[in-house]
């Protein structure tokens, strides 16, 4: 993500000169919940953190050479702090106000300490800590507003089981982009890329297929920016698949947001600001244009080397540019660069390249991307209705997973569970025109049933999930170890982690992983 992929935050170095980015007008109104006021106990810490970020300019950092190990350790403090904050929010949900506040304050203090050291460390990007704090406020707002599902989807990072990092090649070749070569000629099928292909074709195959389907429904919004710039469509798909899986409202724990996962400060650099209260990072078309502008900027700076540009997108352009200056071997795969990048970035680049390769050569690997009819139409609601009700009345015809995700992706400005007034324009997949007229207008039985179910929905209700049985639970997308422990009455989170060989402090889990619930009430 630009900054940040699947939970990995990415900072920004010294701003570079770039061509002006056009402004695109968006006409739909935004409906965004107002954030509750920050607790007084946290406000002073936020002010101090803001001052530190504002003061952390490059001229104040006098060290001649950045210590990558120290910087990585500082960045590593972000994830545990967010996890601690979530634990505090969980206690608030359960009525433990004192314990919840204590955990939240401890998390912010840890973030502040690391941010303070970062401000005085050469090469450390303090914006990450500010963005992470902003994400904490988003998490807190969801809890205090009593929403079971918020406007955004905060997702944990996936725990990788691949041997990608172990496959660092001894030698490689400089990769040139847009110099008369196709992407198939550019991508080198070395050890790390083959290891990533293995993951995409095994336990990550469902994620790849989901990303494909999500992308096909948004292709008419995202592909034109790449086509106009002459960039390969497979590259767009590879980035989208690894960043968000095509989930428009995805937000990483570090605060990166949208289908292409821009951090707030990076997004603003490329035109993804706030439009009538709506964060344009969630807009598929706008984020694709910003992604193109970012890539073109970095191609000019990083010798048109695709792998280095992807590393900058994930690991921070300032870091990659600094490593490039300090290294004699200017290749991404060179130990001078590769070994000094965070593990997430070491894996991110091969994952993107492998997903792009599969986009171009699915048949060679027995991969079948399902046919998806793209395009959209616009309908006008004739009654008050939410996107969730619309998903129910449309049914499942033509989609194995129903239409809720697609409706969210095509209508990013709308809270999916907030009823919209009659006359609101809604984007639908083109193939659903007849279904909408037959099932979701006037007094049709499906729309009346959807309204009845909507009225029965209890905000904040806990769904134990269908995957729990016989003292085990299969992890679902969006789960965290904290949420699972709360759901099944596991009083000792550390014991649950030890039972399932899950390492602290990040407690990373992945969809499809089966957990033992020994010691939980169930």
Interior angle at CA 518, CA 516 and CA 521, nearest 5:
115
Predicted TM-score (pTM) of this structure: 0.64
User: Are residues 188 and 336 both part of a single domain?
Assistant: yes
In a domain, 440, yes or no: yes
Same structural domain, 297 and 350: yes
Is the domain of 185 the same as that of 71?
A: no
For residues 87 and 129, membership in a common domain is answered with yes
Task: Give the per-residue pLDDT at 1.
Answer: 64
Host H or E run for residue 128: helix 127-144
Residues 380 and 484 in one domain: no
Which pLDDT tens digit goes with each residue over 235-269?
999 999 999 999 999 988 778 899 999 999 899 99
pLDDT at position 197 is 96
pLDDT computed for residue 485 by the predictor: 81
pLDDT for position 138: 55
Q: How many whole angstroms separate alpha carbon 284 and alpha carbon 232? A: 17
Are residues 294 and 395 both part of a single domain? Answer: no
Domain boundary pick from 131, 149, 167: 149
Any domain includes 370: no
Q: Would residue 484 count as lying in a domain?
A: yes
Structural domain of residue 238, as residue ranges?
A: 157-365
For residues 283 and 387, state if they share a domain: no
What residue has token string 């979530």?
86
With respect to residue 421, please indicate whether it lies within any of the assigned structural domains. yes
- Separation of alpha carbons 297 and 19, rounded Å: 8
Name residue, tokens 């033992």: 516
Q: Determine the straight-line distance between the first and last CA of the chain, rounded to whole angstroms.
A: 37
Q: Please give the DSSP secondary-structure letter assigned to residue 164.
A: G
> Does residue 36 belong to any structural domain of this protein?
no
Query: Is there a domain that residue 425 lies in?
Result: yes
Residue 26 covered by a domain:
no
Same domain as 261, residue 208: yes
Q: How far apart are CA 381 and CA 385, in angstroms?
A: 7
E strands, 311-409, in order = 376-380
Asked if 81 and 209 sit in the same domain, the reply is no
Tell me which of 96, 128, 149 is where a domain ends.
149
10 located within any domain: no
Q: Are residues 391 and 493 in the same domain?
A: no
Count of Cβ atoms closer than 10 Å to residue 203 Cβ: 16
The enclosing domain of 339 has a CATH number of 1.10.530.10
Q: Residues 6 or more apart from 469 whose CB is under 8 A from it?
A: none
CATH number at residue 504: 3.10.350.10
Cβ–Cβ under 8 Å, residues 404 and 469:
no
> 230 with 184, same domain?
yes
Q: Which pLDDT value is given to residue 83?
A: 83
Domain end position, chosen among 129, 149, 169: 149
Candidates 347, 240, 267, 307; CA nearest to 8 is 347
How many domains does the chain contain in total? 4
| pLDDT value for 95 | 65
- How many angstroms separate the CA atoms of 124 and 75, rounded? 9
Q: Is the same domain home to 77 and 126?
A: yes
- What is the reported pLDDT for 66? 64
Over the chain (522 residues), what is each successive 10-residue block's mean pLDDT? 43 33 30 37 47 43 60 86 83 73 84 82 77 64 43 53 53 46 85 95 95 96 95 96 94 87 92 91 97 95 93 93 90 91 93 97 96 91 95 91 95 93 95 94 93 77 42 78 78 79 77 80 60
């Amino acid at each position: 993500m630009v900054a940040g992929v699947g939970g990995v935050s990415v900072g920004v170095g010294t701003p570079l000169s770039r061509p002006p980015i056009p402004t695109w007008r968006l006409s739909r109104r935004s409906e965004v919940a107002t954030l509750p006021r920050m607790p007084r106990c946290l406000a002073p810490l936020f002010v101090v953190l803001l001052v530190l970020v504002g003061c952390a300019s490059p001229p104040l950092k006098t060290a001649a050479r950045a210590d990558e190990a120290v910087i990585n350790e500082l960045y590593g403090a972000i994830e545990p702090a967010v996890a601690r904050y979530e634990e505090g929010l969980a206690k608030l949900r359960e009525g433990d106000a004192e314990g919840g506040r204590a955990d939240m304050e401890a998390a912010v203090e840890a973030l502040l300490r690391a941010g303070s050291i970062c401000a005085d460390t050469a090469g450390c990007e303090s914006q990450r800590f500010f963005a992470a704090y902003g994400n904490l406020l988003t998490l807190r707002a969801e809890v205090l507003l009593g929403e079971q599902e918020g406007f955004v989807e905060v997702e944990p990072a996936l725990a990788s089981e691949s041997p990608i990092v172990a496959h660092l090649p001894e030698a490689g070749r400089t990769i040139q982009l847009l110099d008369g070569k196709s992407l198939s000629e550019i991508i080198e099928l070395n050890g790390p890329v083959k290891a990533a292909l293995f993951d995409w074709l095994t336990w990550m195959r469902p994620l790849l297929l989901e990303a494909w389907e999500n992308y096909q429904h948004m292709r008419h919004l995202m592909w034109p920016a790449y086509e106009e710039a002459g960039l390969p469509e497979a590259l767009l798909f590879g980035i989208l698949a690894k960043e968000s899986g095509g989930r428009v409202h995805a937000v990483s724990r570090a605060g990166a947001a949208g289908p292409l996962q821009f951090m707030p400060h990076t997004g603003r650099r490329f035109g993804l600001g706030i439009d009538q209260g709506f964060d344009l990072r969630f807009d598929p078309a706008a984020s694709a244009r910003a992604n193109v502008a970012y890539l073109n900027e970095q191609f000019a700076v990083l010798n048109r080397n695709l792998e280095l540009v992807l590393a900058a997108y994930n690991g921070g352009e300032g870091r990659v540019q600094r490593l490039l200056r300090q290294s004699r071997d200017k290749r991404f795969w060179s130990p001078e660069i590769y070994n000094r990048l965070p593990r997430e970035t070491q894996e991110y680049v091969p994952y993107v390249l492998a997903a792009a390769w599969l986009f171009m050569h699915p048949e060679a690997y027995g991969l079948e991307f399902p046919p998806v009819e793209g395009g959209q139409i616009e309908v006008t609601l004739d009654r008050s209705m939410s996107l969730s009700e619309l998903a129910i009345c449309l049914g499942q015809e033509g989609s194995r997973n129903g239409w809720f995700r697609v409706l969210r992706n095509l209508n990013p400005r709308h809270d999916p569970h907030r009823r919209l007034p009659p006359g609101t324009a809604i984007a639908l997949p083109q193939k659903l025109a007849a279904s909408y007229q037959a099932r979701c207008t006037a007094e049709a039985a499906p729309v009346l049933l959807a309204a009845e179910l909507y009225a029965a929905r209890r905000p904040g209700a806990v769904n134990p999930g269908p995957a729990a049985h016989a003292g085990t639970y299969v992890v679902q997308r969006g789960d965290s170890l904290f949420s699972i422990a709360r759901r099944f009455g596991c009083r000792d989170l550390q014991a649950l982690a030890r039972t399932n060989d899950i390492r602290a402090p990040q407690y990373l889990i992945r969809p499809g992983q089966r957990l033992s619930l020994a010691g939980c009430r169930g």
